[in-house]
Amino acid sequence: MRKDAVKKYLCNFSESFRINAPINQRWRHTLIIPVYREFEPLLNNLKSLPTPSGDLLVVLVINKPLWEQKNDSNQEIRNFVNNLNESFKKNNEAKIKRLKDGIDILVIDLEKLFGSNAACGVGLARKIGCDLALAWHSAGAIESDWLSSTDADAILPPDYFDRLESIDSINKIICWPFAHMPSKNNSLNVACKMYVLQLHQYTLGLTYAKSPYNYHSLGSCISVKARPYAEVRGFPKRDAGEDFYMLNKLRKVGNIKCLTGQCISIVTRESDRVPFGTGPATSKIIKSQVTPKEYKLYNPQSFVVLKKVINSIPYLSNRTKEPLRDVLQKQDLSKDLAVAAEESLIKLGINKAVIHCRKHTSSETAFLNQFLTWFDAFRTLKFIHYLENSHLPKISIKNYHNYVPSNWPLNIEEMSSLDDLLSAHRKYLDWRTMDSSHW
């Protein structure tokens, strides 16, 4: 797509549901928030949203996945919205409420639009909200071309919109830093800490391997400009993992800027709102009764193998009959791991990918870029899992220090506690929490 990417997207690929932008009403920024089965205390967090310099329009998308059988699961959300005053009267189709001075809220109720038996998961909710915001920006009702996605259980830092305004124009896609707030349930807190550590460690491993997909994938922490959003045809309409797959698509059209500084704060809770993610993972950890020392992390040696694979990509551009395993062994990888890596990549379809990249590129650099478009975040994760199942099983936190290579980005000490490890990872990322109790 060229410069008319947004127009093409809105005409051909955006969701058919559309509300016309109000006449003579303008906002500086927009924020898209999907909500499902939220309770009033969390919804009241919306009133703590920072006010940008210029008004903010919050697009609140009420959704309900197909497996939810209750018809009143979103009633508290509707009550919350109904109790808000209307922002202004003459505004065509859109019923806009006033959240607080400088912040208006537009509600899109997918249950009422598509019926209570329709599949209206979080991916569809994010896509409909972003599509509407994109259309209103195109119509001139929203000034900024940033589309920001977050969640009802997230508290944005006070300088959120100021930082968005100051982003260098070269950056089109942003991942915000995040931290979790403690709950009153210590078991829940510890379980969440273990899962977050695994997220950090996986991303750190990708950074070590020099993978271009080394970012955290959280739907509550994404901002993307209008054009790249349109180029990748919006959020995937998935019931979970829409953030992972969205960023996977976005990374193929531009670099992802991982911000430092003040974190978005996220409520710590068990949740079955989606089939997988932080909430379900935390619940699973609690049920397993695993201790922090015994909790399993990815084997850092998997990322050593990944790094050597990425280093070997330029060699694959040459039409040579030398097997990948031999190329990997020349980089001091053991024969067993070299064979395991080659077999894993063959399962992923590397042979066809190499033929395609050779056919459509004329330089080593172009081949590398094309290959890394194929060897994306999804295939990288599958590659790590193949290695895990065959040769490099996960290791316990207590043994983390025994498996890190000498040039691992962090110095992992033998007696590091869970909190120490989380703190070390945050320090490496240069993330700052709103409160010292957050992780």
Interval 124-170: pLDDT, tens: 999 999 999 999 999 999 999 999 999 999 999 999 999 999 999 99
Which residues face 109 on adjacent strands? 62
- What pLDDT does residue 249 have? 98
Q: How many helices (H) and strands (E) does the chain have?
A: 18, 16
- Residue 276: the pLDDT is 65
pLDDT reported for residue 355:
93
pLDDT band at 65 (very low <50, low <70, confident <90, very high): confident
Query: Does residue 8 have a pLDDT over 70?
Result: yes
- pLDDT computed for residue 91 by the predictor: 52
Instruction: Identify the bridge partners of residue 30 per DSSP, sorted by sequence position.
Output: 57
When mean pLDDT is compared over 75-84, 167-176, 405-414, the highest value belongs to 167-176
Contact 277, 216 (CB under 8 A): no
* Distance from C-alpha of 93 to C-alpha of 17, rounded to nearest angstrom: 12
Both tokens of residue 399?
């043994």
Q: What is the mean pLDDT of residues 270-289?
A: 80
Lowest mean pLDDT among 76-80, 87-91, 341-345: 87-91
Element holding 72 (H helix, E strand):
none
What are the extents of the domains in the chain? 5-152+199-257, 300-390
Beta strands in 14-149 (DSSP E): 29-35, 56-62, 85-86, 96-100, 103-109, 146-149
Burial of 150 (C-beta count, 10 Å sphere; 0-12/13-18/19+): buried
pLDDT at position 1: 45
Question: 94 versus 377: which is more confidently predicted?
Answer: 377
- Rounded mean pLDDT, 250-257: 97
Using pLDDT thresholds of 50, 70 and 90, give the confidence band for residue 93: low
* Region 5-152+199-257: CATH code: 3.90.550
